Structure 1
Amino acid sequence: MQLKHRIRFPLFVLLTLSIVAISPMPSARAAHDDSGTQPALAAAIAGPQRSEANKARDKYRHPLETLTFFGIKPEMTVVEISPGAGWYTEILAPFLKDHGKLYEAAGGGAGAKTFEDKLKADPAVYGQVIVTTLKPPAETDIAPAGAADMVLTFRNVHDWLAHGNTEDYFKAFYRALKPGGILGITDHRADPSQPQDPIAKNGYVRQDYMVRMAEQAGFKLMGASEINANPKDLRDHPVWYLPPTLRQGEKDRAKYLAIGESDRMTLKFIKPATVAQAH
């Protein structure tokens, strides 16, 4: 009896494995099928809700490549930090409208009112956007704690350094993200051979300095991309001399237009899945 039992058991296992091997698993395939992400993202970028002036900057800001690098998906809950006039909001809102959720963490004041008016003017595109206020240290609830799949901030960190509250921002990002959530950052990249100005008065931040600030908040660097690099930018001038600001007006305008927009770092961080991994 024991011999027969030992023979039947392997046959049963082999039969089971054979069935598993030939059985279709559509639910597993569907869970990992993100084939619709790129077309949906491209459609949002090409959409009529975007101004022509904003579309003209795609050659410098590379929204398709940047958001793809960060790993955005249509079903995500995403928080955009300090959206300004809404350059990226014009892409994120329609992309996330049907299956995801978009929080816009604005800084308050006149700029925030202008941004909210923009959203109200086109409810078909922006009607589901949730606007929150981010004014550290008092107001830092950018989304419900642990609710966000992704937090994105574009060309903002250098401004926070001047106010000395950058740590509060990173803490807010960490608190809003789920374990395993992504923090995506682009910003003007300083010359690594020069010491970091603690207030970034020229608008540039060293990449290693940015990584260190994020890691001090508990994040881990997943990757860095050269998508938004610009080797023409020697970073020997305030970033605002370059387009789109062109703060000097007509002075040296041709020179700065020839450089184009700033050299930028593009960094992807993760909130570790466990507290133990964050230390």
Structure 2
Amino acid sequence: MRKLFSPLLMATTLCSPALIAAEFLQSIKQAMSSYIRTDKEKARDSNRKPVETLQFFGIKDDMRVLELVPGGGWYTKLLAPALRDNGQFYLSLGTKRLKESLLKNNPFDKVKLVGSEGYDFENLNFNLNDLDAVLTFRNYHNFDENERVSVNKAAYNALKPGGIYGVVDHTRRHMQKKNDENGRRFDPVLAIKEIQQAGFVLVDYSSLHYKSDDELRYEVGRKTVRGNSDRFTLLFKKPE
């Protein structure tokens, strides 16, 4: 007997969450090969694993996503084109470097800057309350204690109930005091504690960026560590 598929069933199949996620990841892969990325940026792909990382965070092309402290735009060059058509991409904190360069050109015309373009943490407010995700990559260690409280609170307020907060950073030994070699690292246990205190729930962690041969002894910019630092990858959720 021939099987019949109703238009509704076909639409449901075509728009399934799995398919939407797969299409987004394919968009990230396409962005990875874009001419706007430098050879130096592309050389970091195998280490930073953007496809796997964004998949772990559950990012999809119809989401409203905020990236904090984009730096030179390594993740921006991937997320902006992938979210351009169906979602919305935002940037905040330390965005002045990109404002006059990258953001003037397609596919970055839809990227929006919110909150502070510099590093103004007092009364930090992204002026949003319906984000699906806030992401920060290798930046949590840059903030002092008061700044981390401010960032976590602002991220919480900007997310809709059920929204996710994804954090990746270089690992510091648990309870190790700051010294000349670990300033660009952070204690993941302390990160979890602080982010939970902001109201978030820890959902999961990933070993994507675990490096067994990083002894956590040296500064991440040293030749013996650069590109091979152990990093924690944490997924939090704002309660629904």
Place the TM-score, normalised by the shorter chain, in its bin. Answer: 0.7 to 0.9
Q: Secondary structure of 2:56's match? A: helix
In structure 2, what is the Cα distance between the partners aligned to 1:37 and 1:95?
6
In structure 1, what is the Cα distance between the partners aligned to 2:168 and 2:10?
37
Q: What are the residue-to-residue correspondences of 1:133-212 with 2, within 5 Å?
A: 133-134=115-116, 135-138=119-122, 140-144=124-128, 146-161=129-144, 164-192=146-174, 195-197=175-177, 202-212=183-193
What is the match of residue 221 of structure 1? 202
Task: State the TM-score, normalizing by the size of structure 2.
Answer: 0.87
Please report how far the alpha carbon of residue 89 of structure 1 lies from its aligned counterpart in structure 2 after TM superposition.
0.3
Q: Deviations over 1:104-159 (max 9, x none)?
A: 0023xxxx33211222442x111111012334543522241x22100000011111
> Which is helix-richer, 1 or 2?
1
> Which amino acid is 2:228 matched to?
E
CA contact (8 A) 2:172 2:185 kept: yes
* 208, 219, 230: which one aligns with 1:263: 230
Alignment CA distance shift 1:155-1:91 (3 Å): same
CA contact (8 A) 2:123 2:150 kept: no
Q: What are the residue-to-residue correspondences of 1:1-279 with 2, within 5 Å?
A: 25-29=9-13, 30-32=15-17, 33-34=19-20, 35-107=22-94, 112-122=95-105, 124-134=106-116, 135-138=119-122, 140-144=124-128, 146-161=129-144, 164-192=146-174, 195-197=175-177, 202-241=183-222, 253=223, 255-256=224-225, 260-273=227-240
Q: Aligned Cα RMSD in Å? A: 2.2
Q: Kindly, what percent of the aligned residue pairs are identical?
A: 33
Q: Secondary structure of 1:234's match? A: coil
CA contact (8 A) 1:70 1:184 kept: yes
> Which amino acid is 1:213 matched to?
E
CA contact (8 A) 1:79 1:143 kept: no
CA contact (8 A) 1:136 1:168 kept: no
Q: Secondary structure of 1:261's match? A: coil
In structure 1, what is the Cα distance between the partners aligned to 2:36 and 2:48?
18
CA contact (8 A) 1:164 1:199 kept: no
> Which amino acid is 2:231 matched to?
R
What is the match of residue 10 of structure 1? none
Structure 1 unaligned regions, length at least 5: 1-21, 242-252, 274-279
Structure 2 unaligned regions, length at least 5: none
Alignment CA distance shift 1:271-1:256 (3 Å): closer
Report the number of matched residues: 229
Q: Secondary structure of 1:53's match? A: helix
Task: State the TM-score, normalizing by the size of structure 1.
Answer: 0.75
Please report how far the alpha carbon of residue 228 of structure 1 lies from its aligned counterpart in structure 2 after TM superposition.
1.1
In structure 1, what is the Cα distance between the partners aligned to 2:229 and 2:127?
30
> Which amino acid is 2:99 matched to?
E
Q: Secondary structure of 1:167's match? A: helix
Please report how far the alpha carbon of residue 49 of structure 1 lies from its aligned counterpart in structure 2 after TM superposition.
2.1
